[in-house]
Amino acid sequence: MSQDPAARSDATTPLITIDVWTDVVCPWCYIGESRLHDAIEAEGLGDQVHLRAHSFELDPTSPTDSVKDNIAHLVEAKGMPEAKVREMEAQIQEMAREMGREYVTGRPMANTRGVHRVMQALGEARGIDAATTFFMELQRGYFTGTSNPFEAEAVIARAVEAGLDEQVARAAHAGETHDEQVESEVREAASMGARGVPFFLFNDKYTAPGALPTDAFRQALRQLADEAQDERAQA
């Protein structure tokens, strides 16, 4: 007996789609996405979750022509005492370590718009999955000290490895293309109430701001999986 095409689609389509607005230099995005990953694994939903990354600039006013270290940047941009910034970084590092993640407290900081434009170009050319993988790998490398998103040639090389034409990558990074796509995703998040990142949208229904605790992610995933399974059973 041949299988109904819709049934085949349901069997291979993930139960849960999670859209996340994020920035490559956002510490809480790194923490939140690590917690989400751990929750997915703990719930046994590794093959049932489709994660899609979207652009959001943590600090659009960051310089485009110079790179500072993150401590100096926050002292200047937020008016925070250096000791307080270092204390905050140490606290986030401890959170990461508790999850078995690396986290370097001293990092370069500059404007991330070029990275977002390249992600948009890659998504247009190779699809959202390729763009998401590119961005998440760059973000993880940034916080583990293994990649620098402000080295243009390195970013372009990563995009080319992911399947993007080199000239397209260069044009996007330089600001010649894909700026409006970045703006469009920022506006979309703002229209749903996002004032910062990470910002999550689950199954096009529920939104959640911030780096939720792992247990909260697990509870949400269970609810979403149950709802999706009920909907498929009723279809």
Q: How far apart are CA 30 and CA 144, in angstroms?
A: 10
CATH no. for residue 73? 3.40.30.10
Task: Report yes or no: 150 and 110 within 8 Å, Cβ to Cβ.
Answer: yes
Looking at the chain, the whole-number percentage of residues with pLDDT higher than 90 is 88
Domain encompassing residue 67: 14-234
* Residue 33 within a domain: yes
* Residue 47 within a domain: yes
* Residue 225 within a domain: yes
Give the count of domains, the chain: 1
pLDDT of residue 1: 33
Q: How far is CA 99 from CA 4, 82, 149, in A?
A: 43, 26, 24
pLDDT digits (tens, 9 = 90+) for 22-58: 999 999 999 999 999 999 999 999 999 999 999 999 9
* Residue 5 within a domain: no
pLDDT digits (tens, 9 = 90+) for 100-150: 999 999 999 999 999 999 999 999 999 999 999 999 999 999 999 999 999
Q: How far is CA 87 from CA 23, 96, 105, in A?
A: 22, 14, 10
